[in-house]
Amino acid sequence: MNTIRHIENALKELDDEVQKILTDWSIPLNEKDNLMLPILQQKKVLDQTKSDLEYLRDNPPTPNQPCGISKYRVD
């Protein structure tokens, strides 16, 4: 699935960005937290989206039936 590949690429870019922030010693710790929080929130959403898409790929819904993704999720 092309979408999953794009999400994986975005997750890798976010990981690289977090690593760049973590290894930059010129940024104070509290500023690092402020910079990383939105990145980690985006990463969480992308991880869940990727997981949902993989579930739907592996368990496609039958025609005219709800996908049932809410039953699969463990929040």
> Could you write out the DSSP letters of every residue in 29-66?
HHHHHHHHHHHHHHHHHHHHHHHHHHHHHHSPPPTTS-
The domain ranges of the chain are 2-54
Mean pLDDT per block of 10 residues along the chain (75 residues) reads: 91 96 94 95 96 89 70 65
| Token reading at 44 | 């969480």
| CB-CB contact of 50 with 42 (8 Å) | no
Q: What is the pLDDT of residue 59?
A: 84
